[in-house]
A and B are shown apart, each in its own frame.
Chain A
Amino acid sequence: MFTLMLTSVLLLAGCTGNKSATTAPEANGTEETAATGGGTLIVGRGGDSAALDPAIVTDGESLKIAQQVFDTLLDYKEGTTEVMPSLAESWTISDDALTYTFKLREGVKFHDGTDFNADAVVFNFNRWGDTKSKYKFEGDSFDYYDSMFGPEEDRVIASVTATDPTTVVFKLNKPQAPFLQNLAMTCFGIASPKAIEDEKANFKSNPVGTGPFVFKEWKRSDSITLDKNPNYWQEGLPKMDQVIIRSIPDNTARYNALQNGEIDMMEDLSPDDLATLEANPALQKINRPPFNVAYLGFNTTKKPFDDPKVRVALNYAVDKKGLIDAFFAGQAEPAVNPIPPTLWGYNKSVEDYPYDLAKAKQLLADAGYPNGLDQELTFYAMPVPRPYMPDGRKVAEVIQASFEQIGVKVKIESPEWATYLEDLKNGTKDDLFIIGWTGDNGDPDNFFYPLLDKDSIGGNNYSQYDSEEFHDLIVKAQQETDQAERSKLYEQAQVIVKKDAPWVPLVHSTPLLAAKAELKGYVPSPTGSEAYTNVYIEQ
């Protein structure tokens, strides 16, 4: 019997598939013709939701459902991370950037028939912000609220008040540049206060919002059924009568189900299936815009990587194009900067270090290592697949071979995932490593600050990269509210990162979706989930 337990654990460990958590994306604009619509859309995805109240979850699968059931004050424009009005029609910002006044849309109703108004907005924000709120139920934590608007002792939002039924005023304790960007995140979907009061802790499995679809039924690990919201505030939308989201963990099985017509659309197609998909006229491929970065990081506190010259030299020794062809089935683009090119603030003029072993060797000699490095270095390669890196170990082996040609010997190690992250954080065992990041919201700060700022050493700044110059720019950008100004600061920051080379940025991978050919109007979002409002199936 113990053997049984052991085997089941081993079997499980062996089959932990390629799952995406919070993911990201690119649009292939499907032309919208005459809006037919109606009927049921069945979507297949890799995992189930944890809970249906977006405020208490942090995982991508849960937010995908919330996206259909809830609206946020602001939203992202289809297929981008640009902010646009949603439940808030317009807003004004005071000169000191401490007061935001939102004008709300009129006549919007929650699915339970109650009115959406300023009081509802206040109710929701108070629920998230007040740690002693009676609507914070056993086991709940509002992690995203805390991480976007600061922990309890250091909140960005000082107060939220309703001045009349359609006006809400946010007072801030300090300016926050990505404030609007943050409000558009799905986790800040506005819920019906009456439903929360009535349902209490059960709200997390009976969500009520104002969104395009109304929650109907949840069969755990199986399917979630949503019906069309007949009173949706956007005229004539949504187009489908019903959406059923099924969880089908295995990528190949999900693809089989799509080919068999049991589902209309699937997420996370494995690159291996791309060829058969493209050969099948009954199906179509949909690209999500890339919104992640995979990188090879140098531990900048250790010799010889404390010397930027060595890091730059090694940048010349990585063949990104080759890696993409071999391990991503071409579904990725070489990374030049730490942020994906779909994100605003991306610096197009930064040039990448090309793959050139002779040059790498020469630069290494210039740095004082004419015969290569004498010691063998420890290269950490990820033991688990991630959306941005399907097979870290194989990628590491290819890089290892390139490095060897310029006299740099590395031994690859892949400890268990939790240990791996712990070791990177501490920065004592590894010399160089592979890891990546998927953006949470559409703000560049969400890449630069956690990954490279000196404040994040001991957190996600695994390179232990410590640059005053860079830090000053990032902090300045955090306090600036003008996006054009911020963009300039981030562009400068990218120049510094390129020069200091704490990383070899590897790739921005493009997550793939597949659907039957008749599915139209689907525009995937970089943030990893989108509402199926405009999707329809051509009859």
Chain B
Amino acid sequence: MRYVIIGNSVAACGCIEAIRKVDLQNPIIVISDEKYRVYSRPLISYYLAGKVDESKMYIRDEDYYEKNKVEPILGEKAISVDFKNKEVVLDDNSKVKYDKLLIATGGKPFVPPTKGFELKNVFTFIKFDDVKAIDEAIKNGAKKAVVIGAGLSGLKAAEALIKRGLEVTVVELANRILGSILDLEASKIVQDEIEKHGIVFKLETSVDEIIGDGKVEKVRLKNGEVLDSDIVVFAIGVVPNIDFLKGTELKINRGIVVDEHMRTNIEDVYAAGDCAEGYDFVFEQQRVIPIWPNAYNQGETAGYNMAGVEKTFDRGFPMNSIGFFDVHMITAGIVVPNSDDIEVLVKHDKEKNAYRKIYVKNGRVLGFMFINSIDRAGMITNMIKEGLNVESIKHRLLDDDFGYLDLPKELRQEKILGGAKA
């Protein structure tokens, strides 16, 4: 038995760790086009800001591969998969045989066709090498930056760049920032805070052309404005990194379609993480959920099943915890409801700039946005996951001292003691 994983991020970790819980012997081969051992992509903005150094980018110990009997093939790209002969083909045309395959290739930056994209100092913001290149540009004197996209990664990029002393303008097509995790009202609160740190927003417009002689000098926006700029960072979003599998018999919708075992339509082939399209339990549909815990959980589920232990994962839904400067927020589930029968609970403590909004339908939490009042938020995330009826306690959910004491004694003890007796 040979396990092969294409991709080397957190979904791969989940897979390796699950396999090794049940199979200590058979080889696991990990293939990645990046030369680094497993590192954290969310940490690239921290690296750029100078908050973590290279040694802290790695999410597992140095002997991780050795300890888990993993053979890493790093710095080599998988260019195709021969599903019939069960082989992964690498860019040097060598072949890697598999018995069970996990495709965990993650996402790749989405960049709309833009004039001037080929100029020097135009970057994307996903990989370690991206921020190393941006760092180099700053060291070479870049002073002004334009970031395209006011989502999670765009704003983390903007935050890092302003901490490095650059002037930063963020351009966003939508009418609000952080559109994937906040509604308009919550987004305003966060935008106000971020603006206090000097980041300038241009909303409801996008980049028309990047102008420069060899390297970036200006950015022209669709609204006609022209901004001076030394660097441009595209951080609009990610799309599944699966181009090399298109046109094969692998079933692909937006991502690689998987069932609750992370199985694809091809026998012995599994997919997990940002390249996979699994079931979203809150939205009740197949979706790509490009978030870290989902990738781990999907990778883990795939790993168990690849090793012959049947496990399912059918409780995926979006959740995010992120901070900019001193504003921290945790959001989960549905953040912009699209039906009228959803009850909205809101509490805004302007003095503390703390905000909690929760959506409830038929007694169940569908989603929430907590800003600057995030302690114990996992209890609410878990309520979404378990579908707990919160009818009797719903107004307490808005209070930052909400806790187990708000639950009926029996339920509380069951959750705390997990069936044991104190």
A and B bind = no
Interface residues of A (CB under 8 A from B): none
Interface residues, chain B, with chain A CB atoms under 8 Å away: none
